[in-house]
């Protein structure tokens, strides 16, 4: 079994229980029955009260006893997620009542492609060894290299094969024309003229710091597979999150997304966990 990197999750923001209680009070016109004076005085209140309470008996009763789940749609979480594979992403976006902004391969593949150009341009031998150094530098795959070394090496070899195959079919100028900006072309030219006076990593740093050519990844999407690492921001309401946890934190879930679900639960304040 492939071992993937452990996902990282940061809870960026959450709307609190107050808005859900206000929505609940609206439906029954019962503001005066709240345990909290600032809700009794609604709408004469201040936004400073957001995230000021850790429990709402009314919201708990509606969500856990009466299953009035629409109330949960007024509780919203925003997560940053990292170290997930694109395979997990495919599972994740099936949860439709959520908003996703995910790392774009078309804009972020430049480091891989510029590194490949550098290797093929200035390295006379052991090109594949330098390619492995490049991949260690840009950390492309979600596979845990230490726990799944054979799978990781297979991905590296596969990617090297695909890049060389594109070069065989399209020619090396295809990479130059579609990847390098004018600035990057000048940098490669200067590296060649200095005859590799710097180390490979120094030259790599020079070219990676050059301006990217817009949408360079469009011509190379064939390289991307489910084991590529990605990250992004998710906005999801409590009702959808509850469904997500029910499905993805179960023993039958795809194990990398189960790890993500557990990590999302770990960063959630207890006042929300108590409502699940």
pLDDT recorded at residue 198: 80
Give SS3 for 174.
helix
pLDDT recorded at residue 213: 86
**Location of each CATH 3.30.70.3180 domain in the chain:** 78-100+231-276
pLDDT tens digits, 61-110? 999 999 999 999 999 999 999 999 999 999 998 887 899 999 988 888 99
pLDDT recorded at residue 107: 82
Are 228 and 90 contacting, i.e. CB atoms less than 8 angstroms apart? Answer: no
The 8-class DSSP code of residue 198 comes to S
Whose structure tokens read 């991905």?
155
pLDDT recorded at residue 73: 95
Backbone angles phi, psi at 154, to 5 degrees: -65, -40
Are 175 and 117 contacting, i.e. CB atoms less than 8 angstroms apart? Answer: yes
Count CA atoms closer than 13 A to 153's CA, side-chain side: 6
Q: Give the number of other Cβ atoms within 10 Å of residue 95's Cβ.
A: 16
Cα dihedral sign, 113-114-117-122: negative
Residue 239 has pLDDT above 90, yes or no: yes
The secondary element (H helix, E strand) that includes residue 3 is none
pLDDT tens digits, 149-160? 999 999 999 999
Fold of 78-100+231-276: Alpha-Beta Plaits (3.30.70)
Residue 271 has pLDDT above 90, yes or no: yes
Q: Which is more confident, 197 or 202? A: 202
pLDDT recorded at residue 228: 96
User: CA-to-CA distance for 140 and 146, rounded, in angstroms?
Assistant: 14
Mean pLDDT across the stretch 125-137?
Answer: 94
Token pair recorded at residue 131: 């390619």
pLDDT tens digits, 116-127? 999 999 888 899
Residue 8 has pLDDT above 80, yes or no: yes
pLDDT recorded at residue 196: 62
User: CA-to-CA distance for 5 and 199, rounded, in angstroms?
Assistant: 30
The secondary element (H helix, E strand) that includes residue 259 is helix 255-266
């Amino acid at each position: 079994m492939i071992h993937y990197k452990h996902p990282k999750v940061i809870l960026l923001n959450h709307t609190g229980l107050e808005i859900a209680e206000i929505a609940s009070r609206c439906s029954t016109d019962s503001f005066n029955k709240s345990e909290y004076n600032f809700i009794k005085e609604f709408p004469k209140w201040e936004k400073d009260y957001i995230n000021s309470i850790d429990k709402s008996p009314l919201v708990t009763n509606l969500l856990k006893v009466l299953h009035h789940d629409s109330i949960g749609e007024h509780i919203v979480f925003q997560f940053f997620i990292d170290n997930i594979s694109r395979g997990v992403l495919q599972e994740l976006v099936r949860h439709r009542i959520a908003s996703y902004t995910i790392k774009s391969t078309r804009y972020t593949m430049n480091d891989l492609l510029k590194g490949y150009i550098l290797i093929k341009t200035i390295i006379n031998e052991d090109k594949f060894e330098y390619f492995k150094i490049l991949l260690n530098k840009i950390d492309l795959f979600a596979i845990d290299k230490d726990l799944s070394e054979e799978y990781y090496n297979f991905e590296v070899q596969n990617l090297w094969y695909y890049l060389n195959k594109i070069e065989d079919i399209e020619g090396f100028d295809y990479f130059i024309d579609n990847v390098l900006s004018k600035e990057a072309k000048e940098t490669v030219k200067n590296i060649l003229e200095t005859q590799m006076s710097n180390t490979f990593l120094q030259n790599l740093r020079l070219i990676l710091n050059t301006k990217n050519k817009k949408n360079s990844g469009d011509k190379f999407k064939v390289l991307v597979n489910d084991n590529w690492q990605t990250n992004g921001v998710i906005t999801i309401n409590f009702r959808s999150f509850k469904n997500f946890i029910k499905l993805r934190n179960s023993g039958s879930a795809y194990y990398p997304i189960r790890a993500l679900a557990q990590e999302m639960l770990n960063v959630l304040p207890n006042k929300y966990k108590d409502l699940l």
